[in-house]
Amino acid sequence: MTLIVSFITRFEVFSIGYIMNYTKQCSICQEVFPATTEFFHKDNRGKYGVKARCKECHNRKNRQHNKLYYQQNRNKILNRQILHNQSPERKLKKAEYDKKYRKDNAEHIKQRTAKYYQNNKAVITANLVKRKTRRSDQTPNYANVDLMNRIYKECPDGYHVDHMTPLAAGGLHHESNLCYLPAEVNLSKGTKTIDEFGQEQFSQQVIYWQDVLTCCDNSFTESA
Ligand SMILES: [Zn+2]
Protein backbone atom coordinates (compact mmCIF):
# COMPACT_ATOMS: atom_id res chain seq x y z
CA MET A 1 0.00 0.00 0.00
CA THR A 2 2.70 2.52 0.92
CA LEU A 3 4.45 1.73 -2.29
CA ILE A 4 1.30 2.36 -4.33
CA VAL A 5 0.55 5.55 -2.43
CA SER A 6 4.06 6.91 -2.90
CA PHE A 7 3.94 5.90 -6.56
CA ILE A 8 0.64 7.70 -7.07
CA THR A 9 1.62 10.85 -5.08
CA ARG A 10 4.76 11.15 -7.13
CA PHE A 11 2.93 11.19 -10.46
CA GLU A 12 -0.63 12.14 -9.68
CA VAL A 13 -1.64 15.67 -10.68
CA PHE A 14 -3.83 16.03 -7.62
CA SER A 15 -2.71 14.93 -4.20
CA ILE A 16 -3.77 11.50 -3.06
CA GLY A 17 -5.70 13.23 -0.27
CA TYR A 18 -8.52 13.95 -2.73
CA ILE A 19 -9.10 10.29 -3.45
CA MET A 20 -8.46 8.86 0.00
CA ASN A 21 -9.97 11.70 2.05
CA TYR A 22 -6.70 11.98 3.98
CA THR A 23 -6.19 14.86 6.35
CA LYS A 24 -2.94 16.51 7.31
CA GLN A 25 -1.86 18.68 10.23
CA CYS A 26 -0.09 21.91 9.31
CA SER A 27 3.41 21.89 10.78
CA ILE A 28 3.12 25.56 11.68
CA CYS A 29 -0.41 26.45 12.80
CA GLN A 30 -1.13 22.83 13.83
CA GLU A 31 -4.59 22.95 12.26
CA VAL A 32 -5.87 19.87 10.49
CA PHE A 33 -7.05 20.20 6.87
CA PRO A 34 -7.93 17.78 4.06
CA ALA A 35 -4.63 16.81 2.46
CA THR A 36 -5.60 18.43 -0.83
CA THR A 37 -4.20 21.20 -3.01
CA GLU A 38 -7.04 23.39 -1.82
CA PHE A 39 -5.34 23.67 1.56
CA PHE A 40 -1.71 22.77 0.85
CA HIS A 41 0.69 23.61 -1.96
CA LYS A 42 1.71 20.66 -4.07
CA ASP A 43 4.99 18.99 -3.16
CA ASN A 44 5.88 15.60 -4.58
CA ARG A 45 8.29 14.93 -1.73
CA GLY A 46 5.69 15.64 0.97
CA LYS A 47 3.32 13.17 2.58
CA TYR A 48 0.23 12.79 0.35
CA GLY A 49 1.98 14.87 -2.29
CA VAL A 50 1.54 18.19 -0.48
CA LYS A 51 3.70 20.46 1.66
CA ALA A 52 3.92 20.15 5.45
CA ARG A 53 2.68 23.68 6.08
CA CYS A 54 -0.80 24.81 5.01
CA LYS A 55 -1.20 27.30 2.17
CA GLU A 56 -1.95 30.19 4.48
CA CYS A 57 1.11 29.59 6.65
CA HIS A 58 3.26 29.01 3.58
CA ASN A 59 2.13 32.25 1.95
CA ARG A 60 2.58 34.19 5.17
CA LYS A 61 6.13 32.86 5.57
CA ASN A 62 6.84 33.74 1.97
CA ARG A 63 5.58 37.28 2.43
CA GLN A 64 7.71 37.71 5.56
CA HIS A 65 10.72 36.37 3.72
CA ASN A 66 10.17 38.62 0.71
CA LYS A 67 9.66 41.63 2.93
CA LEU A 68 12.89 40.95 4.80
CA TYR A 69 14.77 40.36 1.56
CA TYR A 70 13.42 43.65 0.19
CA GLN A 71 14.41 45.56 3.33
CA GLN A 72 17.92 44.11 3.28
CA ASN A 73 18.44 44.59 -0.46
CA ARG A 74 16.34 47.67 -1.14
CA ASN A 75 19.01 49.69 -2.94
CA LYS A 76 20.18 46.74 -5.02
CA ILE A 77 16.60 45.98 -6.13
CA LEU A 78 15.76 49.60 -6.88
CA ASN A 79 18.95 50.16 -8.84
CA ARG A 80 18.33 47.01 -10.86
CA GLN A 81 14.79 48.20 -11.60
CA ILE A 82 16.03 51.63 -12.60
CA LEU A 83 18.64 50.19 -14.95
CA HIS A 84 16.07 47.83 -16.43
CA ASN A 85 13.64 50.69 -16.99
CA GLN A 86 16.38 52.70 -18.68
CA SER A 87 16.62 50.46 -21.72
CA PRO A 88 15.24 52.22 -24.83
CA GLU A 89 12.71 49.43 -25.65
CA ARG A 90 11.44 49.49 -22.10
CA LYS A 91 11.10 53.30 -22.07
CA LEU A 92 9.18 53.28 -25.32
CA LYS A 93 6.89 50.51 -24.15
CA LYS A 94 6.18 52.31 -20.87
CA ALA A 95 5.53 55.62 -22.60
CA GLU A 96 3.02 53.94 -24.92
CA TYR A 97 1.37 52.14 -22.04
CA ASP A 98 1.15 55.28 -19.89
CA LYS A 99 -0.30 57.29 -22.75
CA LYS A 100 -2.98 54.68 -23.41
CA TYR A 101 -3.72 54.35 -19.70
CA ARG A 102 -4.15 58.10 -19.27
CA LYS A 103 -6.42 58.22 -22.30
CA ASP A 104 -8.56 55.24 -21.29
CA ASN A 105 -8.83 56.33 -17.67
CA ALA A 106 -8.96 60.11 -17.97
CA GLU A 107 -12.16 60.49 -15.95
CA HIS A 108 -11.05 58.05 -13.27
CA ILE A 109 -7.69 59.79 -12.89
CA LYS A 110 -9.38 63.18 -12.64
CA GLN A 111 -11.72 61.97 -9.90
CA ARG A 112 -8.94 60.18 -8.03
CA THR A 113 -6.71 63.25 -8.09
CA ALA A 114 -9.54 65.51 -6.94
CA LYS A 115 -10.46 63.09 -4.15
CA TYR A 116 -6.84 62.76 -3.04
CA TYR A 117 -6.53 66.53 -2.98
CA GLN A 118 -9.77 66.93 -1.00
CA ASN A 119 -8.68 64.35 1.58
CA ASN A 120 -5.16 65.71 1.92
CA LYS A 121 -5.69 69.40 1.33
CA ALA A 122 -4.01 70.58 4.53
CA VAL A 123 -0.92 68.41 4.12
CA ILE A 124 -0.55 69.17 0.42
CA THR A 125 -0.85 72.92 0.96
CA ALA A 126 1.54 72.84 3.91
CA ASN A 127 4.13 70.88 1.92
CA LEU A 128 3.78 73.20 -1.03
CA VAL A 129 4.28 76.25 1.16
CA LYS A 130 7.23 74.62 2.86
CA ARG A 131 8.87 73.78 -0.46
CA LYS A 132 8.21 77.22 -1.88
CA THR A 133 9.58 78.89 1.20
CA ARG A 134 12.65 76.70 1.24
CA ARG A 135 13.15 77.30 -2.45
CA SER A 136 12.97 81.08 -2.12
CA ASP A 137 15.02 81.07 1.10
CA GLN A 138 17.70 79.11 -0.69
CA THR A 139 17.71 81.14 -3.88
CA PRO A 140 20.76 83.39 -3.73
CA ASN A 141 20.28 86.88 -5.15
CA TYR A 142 22.90 86.17 -7.80
CA ALA A 143 20.81 83.32 -9.27
CA ASN A 144 19.79 83.76 -12.89
CA VAL A 145 16.02 83.40 -12.57
CA ASP A 146 15.34 83.65 -16.31
CA LEU A 147 17.86 80.94 -17.03
CA MET A 148 16.40 78.72 -14.31
CA ASN A 149 12.92 79.17 -15.77
CA ARG A 150 14.28 77.99 -19.11
CA ILE A 151 15.99 75.02 -17.50
CA TYR A 152 12.62 73.95 -16.08
CA LYS A 153 10.68 74.76 -19.21
CA GLU A 154 13.01 72.84 -21.50
CA CYS A 155 13.36 69.78 -19.29
CA PRO A 156 13.42 66.77 -21.67
CA ASP A 157 10.41 64.43 -21.71
CA GLY A 158 10.55 61.80 -19.01
CA TYR A 159 13.10 63.81 -17.04
CA HIS A 160 12.89 65.88 -13.88
CA VAL A 161 14.98 68.86 -12.86
CA ASP A 162 17.13 67.68 -9.97
CA HIS A 163 18.88 69.70 -7.31
CA MET A 164 22.22 67.91 -7.23
CA THR A 165 22.61 68.92 -3.60
CA PRO A 166 18.97 68.71 -2.46
CA LEU A 167 17.34 71.80 -0.97
CA ALA A 168 16.53 69.63 2.03
CA ALA A 169 20.26 69.04 2.47
CA GLY A 170 20.99 72.75 2.30
CA GLY A 171 21.61 72.95 -1.45
CA LEU A 172 20.96 76.18 -3.31
CA HIS A 173 18.17 76.89 -5.76
CA HIS A 174 20.69 78.13 -8.27
CA GLU A 175 21.38 77.10 -11.86
CA SER A 176 24.76 75.64 -10.94
CA ASN A 177 22.98 73.15 -8.67
CA LEU A 178 20.49 71.99 -11.33
CA CYS A 179 20.65 69.05 -13.69
CA TYR A 180 18.26 66.64 -15.42
CA LEU A 181 17.60 63.11 -14.21
CA PRO A 182 15.15 60.52 -15.55
CA ALA A 183 11.95 60.97 -13.51
CA GLU A 184 12.20 57.65 -11.69
CA VAL A 185 15.87 58.20 -10.89
CA ASN A 186 15.07 61.65 -9.53
CA LEU A 187 12.32 60.18 -7.33
CA SER A 188 14.60 57.48 -6.03
CA LYS A 189 17.39 60.00 -5.37
CA GLY A 190 14.89 62.04 -3.33
CA THR A 191 16.70 64.06 -0.69
CA LYS A 192 19.97 62.17 -1.04
CA THR A 193 23.15 63.94 -2.07
CA ILE A 194 25.07 62.52 -5.04
CA ASP A 195 27.48 60.76 -2.68
CA GLU A 196 24.65 59.21 -0.71
CA PHE A 197 22.87 58.19 -3.91
CA GLY A 198 25.99 56.82 -5.58
CA GLN A 199 28.38 58.80 -7.72
CA GLU A 200 28.55 56.20 -10.50
CA GLN A 201 24.81 55.65 -10.79
CA PHE A 202 24.35 59.43 -10.91
CA SER A 203 26.90 60.02 -13.67
CA GLN A 204 25.35 57.23 -15.75
CA GLN A 205 21.93 58.89 -15.65
CA VAL A 206 22.51 62.61 -15.52
CA ILE A 207 22.02 65.02 -18.41
CA TYR A 208 23.42 68.48 -17.87
CA TRP A 209 21.24 71.36 -18.97
CA GLN A 210 24.42 72.97 -20.27
CA ASP A 211 24.37 70.26 -22.95
CA VAL A 212 20.67 70.58 -23.72
CA LEU A 213 19.96 74.28 -23.84
CA THR A 214 21.38 75.90 -26.92
CA CYS A 215 21.70 79.57 -26.82
CA CYS A 216 23.35 82.74 -26.75
CA ASP A 217 23.24 83.71 -23.10
CA ASN A 218 26.72 84.43 -21.73
CA SER A 219 25.71 83.67 -18.20
CA PHE A 220 25.74 79.98 -19.19
CA THR A 221 29.46 79.60 -19.06
CA GLU A 222 29.74 81.58 -15.85
CA SER A 223 27.22 79.48 -14.02
CA ALA A 224 28.27 76.12 -15.41
ZN1 LIG B 1 -0.98 26.46 8.88
Greatest distance between any 2 Cα atoms in the chain: 91
Phi, psi of 149, rounded to the nearest 5 degrees: -60, -40
- Tens digits of per-residue pLDDT, 121-171? 999 999 999 989 999 999 999 999 999 999 999 999 889 999 999 999 999
Quick one: pLDDT at residue 222?
Answer: 46
In a domain, 94, yes or no: yes
Q: Are residues 83 and 49 in the same domain?
A: no
Q: Is the pLDDT of residue 53 over 50?
A: yes
What total number of domains does the chain contain? 3
The residue ranking higher by pLDDT, 91 or 48, is 48
Q: Are residues 58 and 90 in the same domain?
A: no
In a domain, 28, yes or no: yes
User: Residue 181: which residues within 8 A CB-CB, separation 6 or more?
Assistant: 159, 160, 162, 189, 202, 205, 206, 207
Quick one: pLDDT at residue 218?
Answer: 46
Q: Are residues 79 and 58 in the same domain?
A: no
Q: Are residues 47 and 98 in the same domain?
A: no
> To the nearest whole percent, how much of the chain has pLDDT over 90?
66
Give the mean pLDDT of 70-76.
93
- Return d(Cα 180, Cα 159) in angstroms, integer: 6
> Taking CA 118 as the corner, what is the angle to CA 117 and CA 120, rounded to the nearest 5 degrees?
65
Give the mean pLDDT of 79-104.
88
Domain that holds residue 104: 74-119
DSSP three-state, residue 50: strand
DSSP three-state, residue 160: strand
Q: How far is the CA of 6 from the centre of ligand 1 (A)?
A: 23
- Return d(Cα 183, Cα 217) in angstroms, integer: 27
In a domain, 133, yes or no: no
Q: Are residues 43 and 104 in the same domain?
A: no
Phi, psi of 32, rounded to the nearest 5 degrees: -105, 130
In a domain, 125, yes or no: no
- Return d(Cα 42, Cα 102) in angstroms, integer: 41
Give the mean pLDDT of 36-58.
93
| Cα dihedral across residues 193, 197, 202, 203: positive or negative | positive
Q: How far is the CA of 27 from the centre of ligand 1 (A)?
A: 7
In a domain, 124, yes or no: no
Q: Are residues 114 and 148 in the same domain?
A: no
Q: How far is the CA of 45 from the centre of ligand 1 (A)?
A: 18
Q: Are residues 218 and 175 in the same domain?
A: yes
Give the mean pLDDT of 176-201.
92
The residue ranking higher by pLDDT, 6 or 178, is 178
Q: Are residues 172 and 210 in the same domain?
A: yes
Q: How far is the CA of 28 from the centre of ligand 1 (A)?
A: 5
Give the mean pLDDT of 18-38.
92
Identify residue 39 by its one-letter amino acid code. F
Q: Are residues 158 and 106 in the same domain?
A: no
Q: Are residues 60 and 81 in the same domain?
A: no
In a domain, 10, yes or no: yes
**Whole-model pTM above 0.85?**
no
Q: Are residues 112 and 154 in the same domain?
A: no
Q: How far is the CA of 11 from the centre of ligand 1 (A)?
A: 25
Quick one: pLDDT at residue 198?
Answer: 92
Q: How far is the CA of 14 from the centre of ligand 1 (A)?
A: 20
Quick one: pLDDT at residue 85?
Answer: 84
- Tens digits of per-residue pLDDT, 205-223? 999 999 988 765 544 544 4
